[in-house]
Amino acid sequence: QSGLYRHSTDQPVACPPRTGNVSGDVRGKPSGYFGVRRMVEGRSENRTRKEIMCALKKQVPLSVMKLGDGPFSGDEWERSFPSKSLEETLGPLRSCAVVTSAGALLNSGLGPEIDSHDAVIRFNSATTTGYSQDVGNKTTIRLVNSKWNKFFRSPDYKTGTLIVWDPAPYSKNLTQWYKKPDFKFFKLYQQYRKLFPEQPFYILGPAFHWNLWDVIQDNSVPNIVPNPPSTGMQGIAVMMNLCEKVSVYEFLPSHRRTSLCHYYEKHHSWSCTVGSYHPMKFEKLLIGRINQGSDEDIAALGKVTLNGLSQEKC
Ligand code: C5P
């Protein structure tokens, strides 16, 4: 059906090649390692909070891989996937906290405030041990990238629900992704599930990060890097799908901003905060536009307040 699309009347009509400069959803040639096709016309940095929220709601639904999705079938996968859906596992959530791993959380004293939320998401190897005064103790979800192969060793991974993501081709072709994931983590996932069957552990569908990337690019005038959004940005979108209200800590840096990359490590680099591989600067500009909290909350606490997507009537 290439070169054809259907109007609402369902009549097939010829459409211009998807590389032209006609306004509307016209995407350019594949670029970068993942074959990203960015919107070339109609990008804007002036959309309202509501418009951006509705784009997220319509375009970035949360989806995890399940039995029968493309190549994810057969006995091994039947044994591996949790029997409950992510929503069933977590139940309805009112208030949620997203704890980035930024060095600026150090000496914040935000731990009790973070723990007062119904659910807390943390990322990769972010530990709470020794830092609970600043980042809290509660871990409801841990979102990790597929390179994170310390699953088996670290006690930090044993609390809450795990979700893993892996950079897939922009085409979202599951068979291609399955054959050549960015990091070979599928076997590791199955082994982990065998060892710890009681712990819910999901694989995020690749459409999620690319749909999110599309919304970031569509709302940025410059070309953004053709790589998936950061784990933290994906975590914000996960929580916006699951929770009524979302507080995000130190994604938009407070007065404590620092070149310290992570609160739990000694490594310094500003690229952890502004990005190099990920389009982080543009992720942060977008989150700033949908923030419902005050500028004082950002400056003093590094805190952004977002509506959950269920709260938006679109
Ligand atoms: O580095 P890592 O990806 O494990 O950190 C988790 C997330 O926290 C990042 O993906 C990013 O969204 C956020 N972060 C940040 N500023 C930092 C470090 C991390 O915004 N200095």
At residue 192, the 3 state secondary structure works out as helix
Residue 3 domain flag: no
Residue 170 domain flag: yes
Ramachandran region of residue 147, left (φ > 0), alpha (ψ -120 to 50) or beta?
alpha
At 24, is the pLDDT very low, low, confident or very high (cuts 50, 70, 90)?
A: low
Q: Which atom of ligand 1 is nearest to the CA of 280?
A: 12
Residue 295 domain flag: yes
Task: Pick the closest to residue 251 from 177, 292, 302 (CA basis).
Answer: 302
pLDDT at res. 6 = 25
Q: Which atom of ligand 1 is nearest to the CA of 251?
A: 20
Residue 63 domain flag: yes
Number of domains in the chain: 1
Residues with CB under 6 A from ligand 1: 100-103, 123-124, 230-233, 251, 261-262, 272-273
Q: Which residues contact 266 (CB under 8 A, 6 or more apart)?
A: 260
Residue 247 domain flag: yes
Residue 204 domain flag: yes
Looking at residues 239-259, what average pLDDT do you find?
98
Domain span including residue 76:
31-311
pLDDT in tens, 155-209: 999 999 999 999 999 999 999 999 999 999 999 999 999 999 999 999 999 999 9
Residue 7 domain flag: no
Please say if the pLDDT value at position 9 is more than 60: no
Residue 8 domain flag: no
Q: What ipTM is given for this predicted complex? A: 0.99
Residue with more model confidence, 5 or 292: 292
At 148, is the pLDDT very low, low, confident or very high (cuts 50, 70, 90)?
A: confident
Task: Pick the closest to residue 301 from 255, 244, 240 (CA basis).
Answer: 255
Check which CATH number belongs to the domain holding 297 and give it: 3.90.1480.20
pLDDT in tens, 57-94: 999 999 999 999 999 999 999 999 999 999 999 999 99
